[in-house]
Structure 1
Amino acid sequence: MTRYFTKDHEWIAVEGDTATVGITDYAQGQLGDITFVELPADGAALTKGASASVVDSVKAASDVYAPVSGTVGAANAALADAPELVNTDPEGEGWLWTMTLADAGELAGLMDEASYQDYIAGL
């Protein structure tokens, strides 16, 4: 499994032509306590860079953008009752949705973990 990151603080873990998407630990830290997560519908077509989800926190509502284009496989149903999973385990149990990639070539524009850590260090 290969993990990539965006400048908008999403992560995408890719295995073959399927992927799991969420927000980074840095992002959840900036948002504060998460109170609600609006997830994309199963089967929804997502376009790279377009808003796919909204995370509400005590500080603000924040769009989560699709890191690549594709089709939603499943949303993380556990977040309906436990949105705080995004705070406690953002890159694990707090994942947002799975998807099938439309074009794996879009991954080339994303950062690897080392590049992402360098990026957030400069913020």
Structure 2
Amino acid sequence: MNTVPENLRYTRDHEWLSGEDEPAVGITAFAGEALGDIVYLELPPVGTVVTAGDPCGEVESTKSVSELYAPADGEIVAVNPAVAEDPSLVNADPYGQGWLFRLRLTGTPELLDAAEYAALIGAEASR
């Protein structure tokens, strides 16, 4: 079973947010495992205004192409150049070097804590 870091908050779409004022955003280890080896990322450019739940990019793996959803309302203030160059970082270190972008929040997102997210992925894994 995946380790779910306690210091992050999560969406039901398997994105995570860090706790800073302009939080880093990424996809969870659970999502990375489900997708398989990630080979390409289409990330929103800096300055893009996003709305929680709306598509804001794509994640392409050896298995499929999936939409990346905005975890909260806000503006993209940074994109991780390392994952753009080497998308496999998302699989190798999803909660560290595999972050995707930073978001200046303009709303209060509805997020899950680590225990709630662990229960969600436990339920999904047992389907």
State the Cα distance separating 1:119 from its structure 2 match. 0.7
2:115 matched residue in structure 1: 114
C-alpha deviation, 1:82, in angstroms: 0.7
Tell me how far 1:80 sits from its aligned partner. Answer: 2.3
Q: Normalization by structure 2: what TM-score?
A: 0.89
String of CA shifts for 1:46-66, please: whole Å, max 9, x gaps: 111111121100000111111
1:22-101 correspondence runs (5 A): 22-101=26-105
In structure 1, C-alpha distance between the alignment counterparts of 2:60 and 2:104, rounded to whole Å: 25
* Match of residue 4 from structure 1: 9
User: Structure 1 stretches of 5 or more lacking a match?
Assistant: none
Q: Distance in 2 between matches of 1:62 and 1:47?
A: 18
Normalising by structure 1, we get a TM-score of 0.92
2:19 aligned residue (14, 17, 26): 14
SS of 2:23's partner is: strand
Residue identity matched to 1:65: Y
**RMSD over equivalenced CA pairs, Å:** 1.3
Please report how far the alpha carbon of residue 69 of structure 1 lies from its aligned counterpart in structure 2 after TM superposition.
0.4
Q: Distance in 2 between matches of 1:7 and 1:28?
A: 14
> What is the aligned-residue identity percentage?
42
| Cα distance in 2 for residues equivalent to 1:81 and 1:49 | 26
User: Where do 4+ consecutive residues of structure 1 move more than 4 Å?
Assistant: none
Q: Which runs of 5+ in 2 are unaligned?
A: 1-6
Bigger proportion of residues as strand: 1
Please name the residue that 2:3 is paired with: none
Aligned mates of 1:21, 1:14 — CA distance in 2: 10
Q: CA deviation at 1:87?
A: 0.5
Paired amino acid for 1:114: A
